[in-house]
Structure 1
Amino acid sequence: MTPDAFVALLDEHWPRILSALEPADREELAALLQGLADAVDPQAVQASLRRMRRLLRVLPDEHAVTAALRDGVRFVGAPAAARVDRVPVLALLATLRGAPDPHPVRTRLLAAPALAAGEIAAAPGDPGLIRLRHPELGDRYPRFQFASGTTRPLPVVGLINRLLMADRDPWGAADWWLGENRWLRGVPAELLGSVPDEELTRAARELVEGDE
């Protein structure tokens, strides 16, 4: 595994890594990331990575990063690199030091109740369903799309999702459903069943036609 690939592994699991570390470990990790960003020769890069790898041994056994380390992630013999790509390293460091979430909308949408692909009755590739990619949990389907207490998709949701082109822009479609809608004076997902389907559909159509 190359140094850049290891940084990509950290980025993929970053929220869970941070939630599993104690404050002192976070401080040490910040110092190691800064050292990695500043490294100017292969020896310094390899030293920072080895120290970081040792630090991450505090993660739970079931953690995905722990599994990757246990399954043979080694830097010995990896292509020599005088530097790593500083951009992703500094992005991780900024998050660790309390910088604003670079994807606040996606974070909010992923926090909404959802089902996994194996839990739904419809085909996972159904263009009438919003499918959001969670960095840790894989494909997630917002729960509002299904009839209460079931995994059966609601017809009106499928119709509106197609209008919103959810297969091309799932994040935009999810934001429409889960955000405040001035035209409807409420959150569309929360209005399912209490507002006529025709009114919800009309609101979505107004949005689509207004963008044309």
Structure 2
Amino acid sequence: MGLRGALTVLAEQWDDIHDRLSAQEFAKLSSLVDEFVREGDRAIAEEIAEDLADRLRKQLPHDHPFVEALSGPVERWAPTPARRAKDLAAWLRLADPLRARLVGGPVTTADEVDRAAVSELLAAPALRADELTANGQDPEDPGLIRLEDADGSPCWPAFQFAGDGSPLPIVLSINQILEAADDPFGAAGWWLGDNGRLGGAPARLIGRLPDERLLAAARAETREA
């Protein structure tokens, strides 16, 4: 089920859907949307979104853009359309256009949400290639998350390294679980986004929580993606 596409369509088609539903049905829809935008745990938010989708599927014509979006391919949550499945932050930011509809503000487009997510990841503290080399590390190490900004310049999020510049073993293990070599922005999003299971961003919890808890959360994320 293409939940992301459908929720984007819901924000875009909000007025049309309002006109098609009874006052009672629209009040229930608004209540579910309010629950969705307030929820900080991705798994719970997804359950709310699925409940919302199931209700609207029964209430809207089969050819309505929302229903058609639900029939699309299963999507993986990402800061950009290019295979970034594990970015929890982008999943939560999907609420922004719907939140705007609830309060009557301007609607943020999906592209704007994507660009904001990428910009936030790139704004996090990071090392450049010369700094990695100076610390005795290999910039080509596939175990490290390597991001590229708009002009193609690479950077490596700083949370991956200990005080002496060496990669943290727990980070290397989880990067492998998250397939960071293939999906660097997705992996960075998991590390830097708030995690409902852990009570904060995993990158901030390194050394504060047992490694096994971080590993379990990463494995759970990949099972749900």
Tell which has more relative contact order, 1 or 2 (C-alpha 8 A, sep 6+): 2
Please say which structure displays the higher CA radius of gyration.
Answer: 1
TM-score when normalising by structure 2: 0.47
